[in-house]
A = this chain, B = another copy of it.
Amino acid sequence: MGGQNWSGGAAFIDGAFCAIEDAKISILDLGVTRSDCTYDVAHVWQGRFYRLGDHLDRFFAGMRTLRLDPGHDRMELEQILHGCVSRAGLRDAYVSMTCTRGRMPVGSRDLRTAQHTFYCFAVPFVWINSPDKQAQGASLWISTIPRIPPESVDSRVKNYHWLDLDRAQLDAYDHGADLVVLRDAGGAITEGPGYNIFAYWDGAWHTPSHGVLSGITRQSVIELVDDSDTRMEQGPVSAEQLRGASEVLVTSTAGGPMPVTTVDGQPVGSGEPGPRCEDLRRRYWARHRDPAWSTPVQYAASHADPTSVDHS
């Protein structure tokens, strides 16, 4: 195992660490054949996890809701995540963890007989929109495909049910846009593939609160607005309100708050990233050095036994 190439990232699956390119799951796993799983994505910036505890809280809550057991307690799981980042040797990383329903014994169709699967990985930091693109701002398309309703698939349980999001994204490309946002059946703005959305008008930031993931970056931005003299409103946002906003941004673990400068081909405000968004970005990234919000990665000098989990 000493010959592993960790340069692309490191994973932990089937109880052992491996290079990301070797991290594979059975095509019979119910996480594949039924997307019966939950996941979470944290990130590491300049050698520190950002709000790892909040990501773990959400991941464990999702597993409880879906009756999934990762086979590791919270402390072990945290150690495994550190092990992935450390092996990959990454200072800036995208750190994902998944628990699936796993596999049923041959011939069984009873979900209760399944052995659950846990895996996680750390790869170089991923941007929804590259820093270059952020300086300019992204273009956003409002899709006509309705988001899967939370009554069918609980949007608070982070899940891989993204076919509506991906089809909307392909449609957005056709319309020359970088990003997409979906509405609910009633026409209210919900979320995009991997991000929440915020819009500023009439002296307040607004963000949808129903049928969306309770994003950790969304929560950060809500807190940052609450700490300022600007009002924060969580509630329905219409397509008209979004099109008429003077600033728009999306929030994701994969990039933080990122400005949107056109909606449906029309400029947002001046058509450039606005001052309120820039202020939120600055304060969001500053938090990553703050021990109140971040914890140092436990980089090991060497990993003599890459399959061992450090319980210390």
Which residues of A are interface residues toward B (Cβ below 8 A)?
A: 8, 11, 13, 20-21, 23-28, 30-36, 66-67, 98, 101, 106-107, 109-112, 119, 121, 123-124, 126-128, 145-149, 151-153, 159-167, 169-170, 173, 185, 193, 254
Could you say which residues of chain B place their CB within 8 Å of the CB of A166? Answer: 30, 34, 36, 101, 111
User: Once the chains are docked, how many angstroms separate the CA of A33 from the CA of B109?
Assistant: 24
- Evaluate contact between B148 and A126: CB separation under 8 angstroms: no
Q: List 24 A-B contacts (CB under 8 A).
A: A11-B27, A13-B27, A21-B26, A25-B25, A25-B27, A27-B119, A28-B123, A31-B32, A34-B162, A34-B193, A35-B162, A35-B163, A66-B167, A101-B166, A109-B126, A109-B127, A109-B128, A145-B151, A146-B152, A151-B185, A152-B164, A153-B161, A153-B164, A161-B161
Could you say which residues of chain B place their CB within 8 Å of the CB of A127? Answer: 109
- Evaluate contact between A111 and B146: CB separation under 8 angstroms: no
From the candidates B27, B34, B121, name the one contacting A163 in the complex (CB within 8 A).
Answer: B34
- Evaluate contact between B148 and A185: CB separation under 8 angstroms: no
Could you say which residues of chain B place their CB within 8 Å of the CB of A98? Answer: 27
- Chain B residue at minimum C-beta to C-beta distance from A109: B128
- Evaluate contact between A169 and B27: CB separation under 8 angstroms: no
- Evaluate contact between A106 and B173: CB separation under 8 angstroms: no
User: Once the chains are docked, how many angstroms separate the CA of A123 from the CA of B27?
Assistant: 12
- Evaluate contact between A121 and B27: CB separation under 8 angstroms: yes
- Evaluate contact between A23 and B26: CB separation under 8 angstroms: yes
For the complex with contacts A8-B106, A111-B170, 4 further pairs of A-B residues with Cβ separation under 8 Å are A30-B166, A35-B35, A111-B166, A146-B149
User: Once the chains are docked, how many angstroms separate the CA of A23 from the CA of B24?
Assistant: 9
Could you say which residues of chain B place their CB within 8 Å of the CB of A167? Answer: 66
Name the distance in Å between A84's Cβ and chain B's nearest Cβ: 12
- Evaluate contact between A26 and B24: CB separation under 8 angstroms: yes
Name the distance in Å between A20's Cβ and chain B's nearest Cβ: 7
Could you say which residues of chain B place their CB within 8 Å of the CB of A151? Answer: 145-146, 185
Could you say which residues of chain B place their CB within 8 Å of the CB of A109? Answer: 126-128, 254
- Chain B residue at minimum C-beta to C-beta distance from A169: B111
From the candidates B20, B26, B160, name the one contacting A34 in the complex (CB within 8 A).
Answer: B160
